[in-house]
Structure 1
Amino acid sequence: MLDTAAELHGIAGLRRTETIHVSIPGPLSRRPRQTHPQVVVHQLLAPPRAFRTVNGIRATDVLHTVADIILRTERYSAVCVLDSALNQGLLTSSQIAAIPALIHGRRGARSARAHLEEADGRAESPLETRVRLRCTDGNVAPDSLQHVVRDHAGRVLGIGDMAWLRFMLLAEADGRGPHSTPEAVYADRRRQNRLVAAGWTLARFTWQDTLHPDYIPHVIRRLLTRGPA
Structure 2
Amino acid sequence: MEPLDLGSNWTWTDARRRGATRRRIAEGGEQLSRGLHLSRAQPSSLSVRCRAWTRLLPRDAAFGLETAASLLGVHTDPPPEVQVVLRPRPVLPRRRGLVVAVRDLRPEDVVEVGGLRVTSGAQTLLDLALRTPPAELLAIGDALLRARRLCEASLAERLARGGRVRGIVRARECAALLDGRATSRPESLLRYWLATSDLPAPEVQVPVLDRRGRVVAHADLGWERHRIAVEYEGRQHAEADQFGRDVDRYSLMAAGGWLVLRFAARHLGGPGVVVERSRAALVSRGWHPDTVRS
Change (3 A) 1:73 1:45: same
Change (3 A) 1:134 1:155: same
Equivalent positions of 1:1-229 (< 5 A) are 25-26=86-87, 43-52=102-111, 57-177=116-236, 179-228=237-286
Q: CA RMSD in A?
A: 2.9
In the alignment, structure 2 segments of 5+ residues that lack a partner are 1-62, 64-83, 91-100, 288-294
In the alignment, structure 1 segments of 5+ residues that lack a partner are 2-22, 30-41
Change (3 A) 1:52 1:151: closer
Change (3 A) 1:169 1:52: closer
Change (3 A) 1:24 1:87: closer
Deviation at 1:188, TM superposition (A): 0.2
Q: Is the 8 A contact 2:135 2:189 kept in 1?
A: yes
**What TM-score comes out, normalization by structure 1 length?**
0.74
Identity %: 26
Change (3 A) 1:89 1:51: closer
Q: Is the 8 A contact 1:52 1:60 kept in 2?
A: yes
Q: Is the 8 A contact 1:168 1:199 kept in 2?
A: yes
Q: What number of residue pairs does the alignment pair up?
A: 198
Change (3 A) 1:27 1:49: farther
Once residues 197 and 56 of structure 1 are traced to their aligned partners in structure 2, the CA distance between those partners, rounded to angstroms, is 52
Larger Cα-atom Rg: 2
Change (3 A) 1:49 1:118: closer
2:235 is paired with a residue whose SS is: coil
Deviation at 1:25, TM superposition (A): 2.4
Greater shift in the superposed pair: 67-76 or 194-203: 67-76
